[in-house]
Amino acid sequence: MDSQLRFFFFMLLFLWIMSSNPNPEEKYPSYIDKPEILKHYKESMNISRNALLSDYNEGYGNISGFHLSYQDAVDNKTSKLYPIYELNHHFIEDEKYSILPNFISRQAANIWNSEDHIVDLPSNRNDSEEAHDGVKYNTGAYPLNITGFLKGNFKKSKLENHSLAPINITIPHYLRKLYEYRFSESQRKRNEQNNNDGFDDGNDDDSFYTAEYPFDDEVTRVGNFTEDNGSIRISIFNANPIEDESTNVSKHKINGTTPLSFSIKLNNAAETDEHRLSFSGVYHQKTGNLVVASNSAKFNGFYALPHLQLQDGADYEAAKWILFNEANKTDIDDIKFQEIESLVDSSNECEYIGYFHMESTNLTREELQKIDYELINPVGRPHKNVPDLKLTKGLLYSPNCAILLEVGESVGLRDQIYEDGLRNVILVGSIVIFLQILVLIRQMSHTNTPSTLSKLSFWTIAIINMADGSLSVVSLLCTMFFSDLYIQFVVCAFLAFSCSAIYEMKYGIQIYCTQINERTTSWRTMLQGITLDDAATANNNETINNGAEIGNPEATAVPADTNNNTNTPVPPPQTQFTGPADEQSIGAELYTRHFFSMLVFLFVLLNVITWPKRGRQIFEYIILTIFNSYWIPQIYRNTLRGSRSSFTWEFVLCTSFLRLIPIIYIESFANPFEHHTDMKFVLFLVIWLLLQIGLLFAQEILGPRFFLQDKYLPKVYDYHPVITKGDLESGFNFDREELISDGSSSSNEDSRTLTYVTDCAICMQKLSVPILNNSDNLDNGNLENSSSSLLPNSTKTAISKNASNLIARRKYMVTPCNHIFHTECLEQWMVYKLQCPVCRNSLPPC
Amino acid sequence: MTSALPPGFKQLPIAVWSSVAVIATPLCVSILNGKPYFMLAYDPFISKWSQYWRFLIIQLQFQNQSEIALACVLIMMKLKGLERVLGSLKIFKIIILLYIYNLIAIFLISFTFYKVFEWDLFIPSGPFGILFGFYFAYNKFIPNIYVARLDFSNFANFRPFGETMCVDINDKFLGYLGFLLLLIDEGIPSFILCSIGYFMGYLYFHELLPFTDSSLNFIDPLYHKLTKEQTSIPIVNSSNVTNNGSSLSTGARDANTNTNARSNPNQPITGDVDEEYEEDDDYDREGGSREDTPARTLGQQVFDTFNR
């Protein structure tokens, strides 16, 4: 990819990111009077706050969404009739007055009574369900601070014995135009995205404002869970868990009750359907009970929370005062229009009321207090182990959508404990990366020469580098989400970055530079050296067959006239020689490529996070399998080069093991990343890596091409062939005067050892090549064209088995184009160029 | 022997390791989230929770970045000279001894303040005492190289302090400034700790404490084993230092403790070494004549002057 194209993509990405910023200041049409709406909203807030201080008997008061009782809804009354009852009526927890149907309030009371008898519902109401009282599970107190994250399951109640009528909840009249406008705008944007031109905003329909059937996409409404069961993730933030002096309300009124922020995420099993809801609530530390309610422009659950305590008494009083205190933290004059906008936007959702019970612990209240003090302000004070948070059971009831969700046991950890666990995992991960760096440094010091580097596969290092780079990017990204673990994530990111961008990149560049001269060589040339004769034949065949097996122009050898003993090679007409790039420019190119692919990978990864479970899983399988296939390129390279040893075994084993550790941990054990366990995949990866290592080992023991049969394989070019007198006469630029006999007294000329003395074209020094006298010996073999071929074969090998010959052969190298050089000279030359120094014919790597 | 220190940390392993430790320890502690364990006050850590181990670790790291930077600068620019004077092994032993003496002193002070004065003294974390123990040695053993007199007599007619308005600044001026900052860094607690440290240094270098470095001779083999691989060239003949430097009689009396000499037993220890060194003085380390070295800029000269 050239730099202009890269720049274009980058700009496109940049513009896309910039354009996705929403406009904070919304412009409204003139019929929406913002100051008027704000004024009304403030008045309504004032009324709601005053309603908080009312007596239990007076009921919810004039609170949005609580104008109708459940019985009213059954009787098809509308909120326009409010106040339906005389103000002097006595509110009791009965569906006649309460928003909760009797069977739901009974279930809620049973949940609250699961460890003790806390709630007494009125006896004079019509109850179809029985009351249950439980016994305490543990001996100690209930948790004081329940800030944490819990996971569990829920099922949607089928309501076999009961019918549940939806309550018609309407949005206040002063917000209707705003609601209509914002809804139509969002609908228009959605339709624009779907390229749907036939949009009807449906403004004429009066029932539009009701919560019952506001839209055509009822099914996609937030909170309208349609499947039978699913998983629930609960996030609780417990404000003021320890009574402090900042509250204006006296301690005896609060009575161990604290305000809550409660948010849930509902998913079906496949995670294709997701609902996120936020609630306000109160938690009673003395009983472990909590009640929550959602908030929107049409349903002001926060102000109804005291009456949702199911009975008058201490809990009601405590909730009343704590919520009044909480509400008055914001001055009414400080309320901004954006708050109204967000409440109006969430009016489209199913409203919920929830009842839960937190299980007691085995610790005393003092011990729990010590834990809380330590977690809030750590000074290293001794304390007992922090107990897990456990919601034994709960229910979520939606009055406007008529849904009842029964939440099962949900378990989780306090936020700080979760972070401690995550911190330990990150630190161990950092140690693993550090060990990986050490192993890599040792490997680098083992292979510091071009010849050893040329045996290594660039792509093996590239895959490892890619994995480490991704890890550093992900760690860096996590610093944004886990502000308390910033240092640990930065350390992890720094180590992974050092490993990736400094060591592995440097190693990759070294390998790349060493092998730069092979880049233009085809795999066939790598496997096989081609003599000039063969090349000529190959060229002819290509012309005849109109097929080009060797596509690389440089790999095509120059046809030379073997009968013509001239030393002048014909330069290949189509050869495009590009000088070897220096390490700096290669480094710059590789770095650019690396960082660009990292950036792309990051965006892909961010996108993948939002995918449903199945998609995520498949992506994970593919990516992890690719990242754990790093020995495959090396096996391929061994095969191509015919080299047995490449990386040290220490590096191979340590790298494989160290890189498997995190995957095994995440896939096999309960971990803070909430990754599911998948033993089959772990087993697959282990076997897959063992297979790769086994193949590498087998290549070292049995030879790099043991799994390929000779007949499928082009023969490897041997740079140290046995040269016969016949070879010299036919293929070499031969001067008979340079053939020297060893001076043996033998009368038979053929039995004498001959030496051919010529000049090495690189160092211009004399070079002696022992020559075998061919006639007799070779006649015994089955060499049909031995006189003209330098290719090694079994017969020649048999002939040349004596030790002196072997050593002598190692001192010279013969190229496929029949040029002879000193071994050291040509090896040094081949580090830079895989071309014959004399005729520029391509050379197979050795 | 030249009065100037060689650049960098050549032949000064303890200075190197202490500089690294001053930076690396807080980093490790932060990463491991162990900062809360480096807080110490008698109440509640000792009186209620009996966490005596806090006394052991309180001197191991500075909590504040400014203190780390200050300590590092002081070690690198000033205190490393002491290692050259006293020898690495001796310095190592003195660090251990000062650590122990300060530990005892901190405990006693903390206990006394709480019980007698009913003052729950907050002990700041860091080797304040050790550094100020060496501050005493720094004053005692390191001579001044120069004194610069700033004459303000003609600067103004206003002369509140008489006719002479001169300020003398010597090469230790920056060191004093650094120690002063460290002294007042944590307010009264750091002042108390530093004073104790200085007092401990005074007692130690006047041989008024029961144990000196010779009582830690059992660590010599271990030290030599650990530093065996480091090659060192004896720049200073320890016996010469002992004979010539009268002011160093206490610190460098034990010539055998000089690591520079001991760590490389094959190297002959003779008086010629000094001469050789001085002869070499006219040449730079690459063997070239100093005439080839470019002239120092004015800024470099000023920096070098105050850097000594």
Interchain CB distance below 8 Å, A380 and B36? yes
Do A669 and A728 lie in a common domain? no
What are the structure tokens assigned to B283, written together?
Answer: 């040449």
| pLDDT number for residue A544 | 42
Place of tokens 């939002």: A610
Nearest CA in chain A to B37: A380
What are the structure tokens assigned to A240, written together?
Answer: 């003021």
- How remote is the C-alpha of A838 from its chain's centroid? 53
| Predicted confidence (pLDDT) at residue A791 exceeds the cutoff of 50 | no
Interchain CB distance below 8 Å, B51 and A380? yes
In this prediction, residue A149 has a pLDDT band, given cuts at 50, 70 and 90, of very high
What are the structure tokens assigned to B152, written together?
Answer: 């303000």
Of A342 and A27, more confident: A342
Q: Is any Cβ of chain A less than 8 angstroms from the Cβ of B265?
A: no
Q: How many domains does the structure of chain A reveal?
A: 3
3-state DSSP helix/strand/coil % of chain A, to nearest 5: 45, 10, 40
Q: Is any Cβ of chain B less than 8 angstroms from the Cβ of A487?
A: yes
Q: Is any Cβ of chain A less than 8 angstroms from the Cβ of B57?
A: no
In this prediction, residue A435 has a pLDDT band, given cuts at 50, 70 and 90, of very high
Lowest-pLDDT range of A336-345, A470-479, A654-663, A837-846: A837-846
Do A129 and A183 lie in a common domain? yes
Using CA atoms, how far residue A253 sits from A7, A92, A250, A314, in Å, is: 65, 22, 6, 8
Alpha carbon distance A199, A192 (integer Å) = 9
Q: Residue A288 corresponds to which amino acid?
A: G
Q: Cβ-count burial of B198 within 10 angstroms (0-12 exposed, 13-18 middle, 19+ buried)?
A: buried
| pLDDT number for residue A816 | 83
Do A787 and A646 lie in a common domain? no
- Residues A571, A577: contact at Cβ < 8 Å? no
Do A391 and A425 lie in a common domain? no
Do A382 and A347 lie in a common domain? yes
| Predicted confidence (pLDDT) at residue A445 exceeds the cutoff of 50 | yes
Choose, out of B31, B32, B38, B43, the residue to mutate when testing the contact with A (most A CBs < 10 Å). Answer: B31
Q: Is any Cβ of chain A less than 8 angstroms from the Cβ of B49?
A: yes
Q: Is any Cβ of chain B less than 8 angstroms from the Cβ of A18?
A: no
Q: Is any Cβ of chain B less than 8 angstroms from the Cβ of A379?
A: yes
| pLDDT number for residue A565 | 41
Do A38 and A67 lie in a common domain? yes
Alpha-helix residue ranges (DSSP H) falling in A611-739: 613-627, 632-641, 649-668, 679-702, 725-731
Alpha carbon distance A688, A629 (integer Å) = 8
Question: Of A654, A673, A702, which residue is a domain's last?
Answer: A702
- CB hemisphere CA count around A625 (13 angstroms): 11
Interchain CB distance below 8 Å, A423 and B33? yes
Mean pLDDT, range A441-467, rounded to an integer:
90
Query: Most confidently modeled of A67-81, A632-646, A781-795, B19-33?
Result: B19-33
| pLDDT number for residue A164 | 85
Do A768 and A826 lie in a common domain? yes
pLDDT digits (tens, 9 = 90+) for A328-375: 888 888 888 888 888 888 888 899 999 999 999 999 999 999 999 999
> Could you give the percent of chain A with pLDDT greater than 70?
77
Q: Which of A379, A488, A491 sits opposite B36 (nearest CB)?
A: A379
Mean pLDDT computed over every residue of chain A: 79
Shortest distance between the Cα of A353 and any Cα of chain B, in A, equals 40
Q: Which letter does DSSP use for residue B191 in this model?
A: H
Pairing state of beta strands A274-284 and A289-294?
A: antiparallel
Q: Which of A380, A488, A491 sits opposite B37 (nearest CB)?
A: A380
pLDDT digits (tens, 9 = 90+) for A721-759: 887 777 777 767 666 666 665 544 444 555 556 778 888
- Residues B109, B168: contact at Cβ < 8 Å? no
Choose, out of A370, A373, A374, A381, the residue to mutate when testing the contact with B (most B CBs < 10 Å). Answer: A381
Q: Which letter does DSSP use for residue A295 in this model?
A: B
**Domain-located, residue A559:** no
| Predicted confidence (pLDDT) at residue A423 exceeds the cutoff of 90 | yes
Q: Long-range contact list for A664-668, CB < 8 A, 24+ apart?
A: A665/A425
| pLDDT number for residue B217 | 84
Shortest distance between the Cα of B37 and any Cα of chain A, in A, equals 6
In this prediction, residue A514 has a pLDDT band, given cuts at 50, 70 and 90, of confident
Shortest distance between the Cα of B193 and any Cα of chain A, in A, equals 21
Query: Most confidently modeled of A122-136, A601-615, B60-74?
Result: B60-74
pLDDT in tens, chain B (308 residues): 455 666 777 778 899 999 999 999 999 999 999 999 999 999 889 999 999 999 999 999 999 999 999 999 999 888 888 998 898 999 999 999 999 999 999 999 999 999 998 899 999 999 999 999 999 999 999 888 888 888 777 666 666 666 667 788 888 888 899 999 999 999 999 999 999 999 999 999 998 988 888 888 888 888 888 777 554 444 444 444 434 434 443 334 443 444 443 444 444 444 444 444 444 444 444 444 455 566 677 667 666 665 55
- Residues A63, A82: contact at Cβ < 8 Å? no
**How many contacts, defined by CB atoms under 8 Å, are there between A and B?**
23
Shortest distance between the Cα of A495 and any Cα of chain B, in A, equals 13
Q: Which of A382, A420, A491 sits opposite B49 (nearest CB)?
A: A382
Mean pLDDT, range A639-651, rounded to an integer:
85
Do A667 and A746 lie in a common domain? no
Nearest CA in chain A to B43: A381
Interchain CB distance below 8 Å, B30 and A487? yes
Q: Is residue A402 left, alpha or beta, with left meaning phi > 0 and alpha meaning psi from -120 to 50?
A: left
Of A468 and A177, more confident: A468
| Predicted confidence (pLDDT) at residue A642 exceeds the cutoff of 60 | yes
Place of tokens 């000033």: B78
Interchain CB distance below 8 Å, A381 and B39? no
Interchain CB distance below 8 Å, B49 and A379? no
The β-bridge partners of A405 are A156, A396
- Residues A513, A583: contact at Cβ < 8 Å? yes
Alpha carbon distance A141, A256 (integer Å) = 12
So what's the ipTM on this one? 0.71
Mean pLDDT, range A568-572, rounded to an integer:
41
Nearest CA in chain A to B53: A380
Residues in chain A with CB shorter than 8 Å from the CB of B45 are 379-380
Alpha carbon distance A266, A740 (integer Å) = 92
- Residues B95, B165: contact at Cβ < 8 Å? no
Q: Which helix (H) or strand (E) holds A328?
A: none
| Predicted confidence (pLDDT) at residue A561 exceeds the cutoff of 50 | no
Alpha carbon distance A350, A210 (integer Å) = 12
Per domain, the residue ranges of chain B are: 13-227, 249-295
Q: Which letter does DSSP use for residue A292 in this model?
A: E
Q: Is any Cβ of chain A less than 8 angstroms from the Cβ of B155?
A: no
pLDDT digits (tens, 9 = 90+) for A245-263: 555 666 667 778 899 999 9
- Residues A557, A817: contact at Cβ < 8 Å? yes
The β-bridge partners of A277 are A264
Interchain CB distance below 8 Å, B31 and A382? no
- Residues B48, B213: contact at Cβ < 8 Å? no
| pLDDT number for residue A315 | 87
Residues in chain B with CB shorter than 8 Å from the CB of A382 are 49, 51
Do A391 and A422 lie in a common domain? no
- Residues B260, B236: contact at Cβ < 8 Å? yes
- CB hemisphere CA count around A597 (13 angstroms): 16
> Could you give the percent of chain A with pLDDT greater than 90?
30
Alpha carbon distance B141, B121 (integer Å) = 33
Do A327 and A465 lie in a common domain? no
| pLDDT number for residue A349 | 86
Of A110 and A127, more confident: A110
Do A394 and A430 lie in a common domain? no
Interchain CB distance below 8 Å, A491 and B44? no
**Domain-located, residue A565:** no
| pLDDT number for residue A362 | 93
Alpha-helix residue ranges (DSSP H) falling in A272-313: 301-304
**Domain-located, residue A273:** yes
Per-residue burial over A782-797, b = 16 or more CB atoms within 10 Å of its CB, e = otherwise: ebeebbebbbbbebbe
Interchain CB distance below 8 Å, B33 and A381? no
SS3 state at A227: coil
Q: Which of A379, A382, A487 sits opposite B31 (nearest CB)?
A: A487
Q: Which letter does DSSP use for residue A124 in this model?
A: T
Q: Which of B31, B32, B39 sits opposite A379 (nearest CB)?
A: B39
**Domain-located, residue A758:** yes
Of A807 and A227, more confident: A227
Nearest-CA neighbor of A260 among A281, A229, A232, A291? A281
- How remote is the C-alpha of B163 from its chain's centroid? 38
Q: Is any Cβ of chain A less than 8 angstroms from the Cβ of B37?
A: yes
Nearest-CA neighbor of B64 among B35, B87, B43, B33? B35
In this prediction, residue A24 has a pLDDT band, given cuts at 50, 70 and 90, of low
Nearest-CA neighbor of A134 among A109, A104, A100, A103? A109
Mean pLDDT, range A492-505, rounded to an integer:
94
Which residue range(s) make up the domain with A680?
Answer: 417-520+581-702
**Domain-located, residue A508:** yes
| pLDDT number for residue A72 | 84
Q: Is any Cβ of chain A less than 8 angstroms from the Cβ of B122?
A: no
| Predicted confidence (pLDDT) at residue A551 exceeds the cutoff of 60 | no
Using CA atoms, how far residue A287 sits from A54, A117, A360, A361, B140, in Å, is: 24, 10, 9, 12, 69
| Phi, psi torsion values for A395, nearest 5 degrees | -140, 150
**Domain-located, residue A765:** yes
Place of tokens 């400014």: B66
- CB hemisphere CA count around B139 (13 angstroms): 12
- Residues B292, B129: contact at Cβ < 8 Å? no
| pLDDT number for residue B238 | 41
Do A431 and A404 lie in a common domain? no
Alpha carbon distance A194, A186 (integer Å) = 12
Nearest-CA neighbor of A304 among A316, A313, A290, A286? A316
Shortest distance between the Cα of B190 and any Cα of chain A, in A, equals 20
Mean pLDDT, range A181-196, rounded to an integer:
72
Question: Of A670, A702, A734, which residue is a domain's last?
Answer: A702
SS3 state at A118: coil
pLDDT digits (tens, 9 = 90+) for A759-781: 888 888 888 888 777 554 444 44
Residues in chain A with CB shorter than 8 Å from the CB of B51 are 380, 382
What are the structure tokens assigned to B9, written together?
Answer: 């940390």
| pLDDT number for residue B30 | 92
